[in-house]
Amino acid sequence: MADPLHERDLARPALDLVAKAAGAYLEALPDLPVRDPAADVLFDRLGGPLPEHGAGTLAGVEELLDIGTRAAVQSSGPRFFHFIVGGATPAAQAGDWITGLLDQPAGLWVASPLAAEAETVVLGWLKDLFALPDSYGGVLTPSATFANLTALACARNWWAAAHGVDVTVDGLAGLPTMPVLTGGYVHPSNRKALQILGCGRDTLRVHTRDDAGRVDLAAIERALIEIDGPAVLIASAGEVDTGDFDPIDALADLAERYGAWLHVDGAFGLFAGVTPRLSHLVRGVERAHSVAADGHKWLNVPYESGFAFVRDADLLGRTFGASNAPYLPGAGDTHLNYNHLGPESSRRARALPIWATLRAYGRAGYRAMVERHHDLAVHLGALVEQAPDLELLAPVTLCVVCFRYRPPEPFTETELDELNRRLGTELIEDGRVYAGTTIHRGKVALRPAIVNWRTVAGDVELFAAVVREIGARVAGELRAGGRAGEA
CA 241 to chain centre: 13
pLDDT of residue 486: 43
Per-residue confidence at 350, pLDDT binned at 50, 70, 90? very high
From residue 413, alpha-carbon distances to 4, 443, 446 in Å are: 61, 8, 15
Reply yes or no on whether the pLDDT at 332 is more than 70. no
pLDDT band at 246 (very low <50, low <70, confident <90, very high): very high
What three-state secondary structure class fits 228?
coil
Closest to 92 measured CA to CA, from 288, 305, 249 = 305
- For 292-329, the pLDDT digits (tens) are 999 999 999 999 999 999 999 999 999 998 665 655 66
Quote the Cα angle for 81-85-89, to 5°.
110
DSSP-assigned letter for residue 209: S
Three-class SS of residue 484?
A: helix
> Which residues 6+ apart lie within 8 Å of 250 measured at CB?
217, 284
Mean pLDDT on 30-55: 94
CA 449 distance to own-chain centroid: 12
| C-alpha span between 48 and 46 (Å, rounded) | 7
Predicted TM-score of the model (pTM): 0.95
- Digit-coded pLDDT (tens) for 197-232: 999 999 999 999 999 999 999 999 999 999 989 999
Q: Looking at residues 91-111, what average pLDDT do you find?
A: 96
Q: Is the pLDDT of residue 487 over 90?
A: no
Whether the CB-CB separation of 77 and 34 falls below 8 Å is answered with yes
Summarize pLDDT for 419-440 with one digit per residue, the tens: 999 999 999 999 999 999 999 9
